[in-house]
Amino acid sequence: MCGIVGYIGKSSAIPILIDALKKLEYRGYDSAGIAVLNLNKLKVYKIRGRIKDLEKILPDLESHIGVGHTRWSTHGRPNDINAHPHTSGNIAVVHNGIIENYQKLKEKLLIEKKYKFVSETDTEVIAHLINYYYNGNLVESVKNALSELEGSYAIAVICKDSPDLIVAARKDSPLIVGVGENENFVASDIPAVLKYTKKIIYLDDYDIAIIKKDGIEFFNNGNPITKEINTVEWDEKAAEKAGYDHFMLKEIHEQPTSVFETLRGRISELDGTVNLDIKLAPDQVIELNKIEIIACGTSYNAALVGKYLFEILAGIPTTIEYASEFRYSNPILDVKALVIAITQSGETADTLAAIREAKSYQCKTLAITNVVGSTITREMSDVLYTRAGPEIGVAATKTFTAQLASLYLLAIYIGKIRYKLNTEQSKQLLINLKKVSGQIQKILEEENIQKIQECASEFANSKDYFFIGRHINYPIALEGALKLKEISYIHAEGYPAGELKHGPIALISEGVPVVAIATQGPTYEKIISNIKEVKARDACVIAIAYTSDTEIEKYVDIVLRIPDTHYLLSPILSTVVLQLLAYYTAKERNCNIDKPKNLAKSVTVE
């Protein structure tokens, strides 16, 4: 996820571009840049680092048209060369999205058209493609270039030979146009332009906007269209969170997109295949005798889900280790083992230390991370990127579900190669996995959220909370407890439900809330028995269950519903409910949700 902006009008462009980019820095902050037209020349300034670093290299020059970008890397490491804008001839492009066929297009432009590439990005392909089609008409060249792209994009384009217009377009990545007086704007999100105008036009997929100082034209699939102007009533501070009270809530609501992006271009449900851009070859996969997963915190809970997936879908013995303990555990690893490190930031000190130890065993290594160019990506032999975009709230939400989505992909990929999964089985899993984004959106509907809010309010003053689950739901019980304790400061514990009778049930007393993850699957009857055990001790039971489950209400006090899905995929959906329960509990208690006490977003010390 990146942020793009564009300005054309009566005022000086550079201060407006910089100010707008600062409002979008939550979308990406590993590099930044702008391109402006000055004295009939295209001037580009870009740098690795944040927007404040970009400001230091900008000269004092006059311009009334320009585009800008703040980057969150998806293709290519964070550095000056990979920073946007990207240029080809007299054309400059800023882009947010992922071009899935960029490698094919790059080879075509390199070999057939002799274009020189200087970056590792997919965006440079767009710039060269527009340049290839350019015949004096910028709009037509953009249209022709877009017709060859597969994937997602929101772009803004300027050209030295067309100093009176910006061409913008979108497909599957957000883009808005801000309407001013003798000036107009384009941006990834409303906060970028709210200081200058509250008149907003939302672009839809396949829209192209021709933006001039004194007017805007819109086309869709080549046909001129009329777009509605909307008046936004947000203030600037609220707009940074897109109207949400906290970044955490905003990021919970971004999960339909982050899961979709993590899956995009990687699955083919028609033939049951997973396409991962990793070096782990089929012959190496077949030889694997063990998987060891290393992680901390929320990532550890994702790793526990991964253990079930690799053993069930791929038939490989899998062990999990806290990164902080791995170095002292004398692991049994060899060249036929795969060590997977899961880390949101790619900078977690304990995880980095653990994988350095693991590499001494000559085993294969793979990182699952959200940050391109982070330390772990340089130290592992393989990397599988989640595509969640920047996460501002300290409590992990969308990065966790993106990690789960990545683990499903990897487990199906390995299971298919090892013939543990046949084509029909993998097809069914992928069909259901592709539905998950829409099912998360269903959970986020107002009616469901209201019920979760009511539940959170009822138990907000509880001193203790317990979460129970069995099989693949046990890690989600741990994650639900972790989220609640992180942001609400209520003592919360997660347990395998079958372990209650071995000690924890002594803590159950009248009125204590117990969250039971009771989705139907191989252990459904067992979790019902565990629910009866805690109800016999007068606990208040909150169940997470499928929409179709008509039995569960007989045994519990409150039911929070999720859409029906394959039992192995239910952890993603249950997680979203638990995130919302934790959020609204913390809000009821007036806690600092985005910055809970004693916690940091990235733990970079041991």
* pLDDT score, position 218: 97
Confidence of residue 114 (pLDDT cuts 50, 70, 90): confident
Is 409 in the same domain as 462?
no
pLDDT surpassing 80 at residue 183: yes
* pLDDT score, position 234: 66
Range of the domain at 539: 445-600
Rounded to an integer, what distance in angstroms lies between the CA atom of residue 248 and that of residue 241?
Answer: 9
- Pick from 191-200, 419-428, 509-518, 596-605: least confident: 596-605
pLDDT surpassing 60 at residue 294: yes
- Pick from 100-114, 159-173, 243-257: least confident: 100-114
pLDDT surpassing 70 at residue 22: yes
Confidence of residue 129 (pLDDT cuts 50, 70, 90): very high
Instruction: Please report whether residue 606 resides in a domain.
Output: no
Rounded to an integer, what distance in angstroms lies between the CA atom of residue 222 and that of residue 199?
Answer: 25
Confidence of residue 365 (pLDDT cuts 50, 70, 90): very high
The mean predicted confidence, pLDDT, of the chain is 92
Instruction: Please report whether residue 227 resides in a domain.
Output: yes
| Percent of the chain whose pLDDT exceeds 90 | 78
Is 432 in the same domain as 454?
no
Rounded to an integer, what distance in angstroms lies between the CA atom of residue 19 and that of residue 31?
Answer: 15
Write down the catalytic residue from 2, 296, 455, 540.
2
Is 318 in the same domain as 363?
yes
Q: Determine the average pLDDT of the residues in 356-362.
A: 90
Is 459 in the same domain as 590?
yes
Is 289 in the same domain as 181?
no
Instruction: Please report whether residue 43 resides in a domain.
Output: yes
What CATH number has the domain bearing residue 360? 3.40.50.10490
State which H helix or E strand residue 495 sits in.
strand 491-496
Write down the catalytic residue from 199, 212, 227, 601.
601
Please tell me the total count of domains within the chain: 3
Asked if residue 357 lies in contact with residue 345, where contact means CB atoms within 8 angstroms, the answer is: no
Is 336 in the same domain as 451?
no
Per residue in 398-443, pLDDT tens?
Answer: 999 999 999 999 999 999 999 999 999 999 999 999 999 999 999 9
Rounded to an integer, what distance in angstroms lies between the CA atom of residue 425 and that of residue 313?
Answer: 10
Confidence of residue 204 (pLDDT cuts 50, 70, 90): confident
* pLDDT score, position 190: 83
Asked if residue 163 lies in contact with residue 66, where contact means CB atoms within 8 angstroms, the answer is: no
- Pick from 111-115, 137-141, 184-188, 293-297: least confident: 111-115
Rounded to an integer, what distance in angstroms lies between the CA atom of residue 51 and that of residue 31?
Answer: 7
Is 459 in the same domain as 582?
yes
| Percent of the chain whose pLDDT exceeds 70 | 98
Is 287 in the same domain as 311?
yes
Please confirm, yes or no, whether 212 is among the known catalytic residues. Answer: no
Count of C-beta atoms within a 10 Å radius of residue 191: 25
Asked if residue 129 lies in contact with residue 6, where contact means CB atoms within 8 angstroms, the answer is: no
Asked if residue 97 lies in contact with residue 108, where contact means CB atoms within 8 angstroms, the answer is: no
Among the listed residues 520, 524, 506, the one whose alpha carbon sits nearest the alpha carbon of residue 562: 520
Confidence of residue 604 (pLDDT cuts 50, 70, 90): very low
Q: Determine the average pLDDT of the residues in 164-190.
A: 93
Per residue in 136-164, pLDDT tens?
Answer: 999 999 999 999 999 989 999 999 999 99
* pLDDT score, position 429: 96
Among the listed residues 314, 274, 273, 263, the one whose alpha carbon sits nearest the alpha carbon of residue 291: 314
* pLDDT score, position 605: 39
Please confirm, yes or no, whether 601 is among the known catalytic residues. Answer: yes
Is 218 in the same domain as 275?
no
